[in-house]
């Protein structure tokens, strides 16, 4: 809902910062490393985001620098609307996994 609200309001800086950046940190913590690294590429630096540097370091360790860079480049190449759609798809996958649905 927060991502949609920011997107609908046209608040792209906050969307790319706290919205998608925060989701990337959450996905790192949940073990969804590819999604986290991809969303890191959509992140637009702004006010410091709690856990961001820890998540980046962890993702580089888990995925390797080359994979992390490739995935974050894919995220960086996304248009805003594509990044929002990607975020929604990844949220749904995580929900399905957490609820044990197939």
Q: What tens digit of pLDDT does each residue of 34-93 get? A: 999 999 998 766 556 678 888 999 999 999 999 999 999 999 999 999 999 999 999 999
Selected residue with higher pLDDT from 46 and 13 = 13
* Residue 96 vs residues 2, 18, 50, 90, 93: alpha-carbon distances, Å: 20, 24, 26, 10, 5
Given this model, what pLDDT does residue 11 score?
A: 77
- Give the global pTM: 0.86
pLDDT at residue 27 above 90?
yes
pLDDT at residue 23 above 60?
yes
Specify whether the CB–CB gap between 39 and 25 falls below 8 A. no
């Amino acid at each position: 809902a927060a991502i949609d609200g920011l997107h609908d309001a046209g608040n792209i800086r906050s969307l790319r910062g706290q919205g998608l950046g925060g989701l990337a940190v959450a996905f790192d913590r949940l073990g969804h490393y590819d999604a986290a690294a991809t969303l890191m590429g959509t992140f637009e630096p702004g006010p410091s985001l709690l856990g961001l540097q820890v998540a980046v370091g962890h993702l580089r360790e888990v995925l390797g620098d080359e994979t992390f860079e490739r995935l974050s480049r894919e995220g960086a190449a996304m248009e805003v609307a594509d990044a929002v759609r990607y975020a929604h798809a990844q949220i749904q996958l995580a929900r399905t996994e957490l609820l044990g649905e197939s």
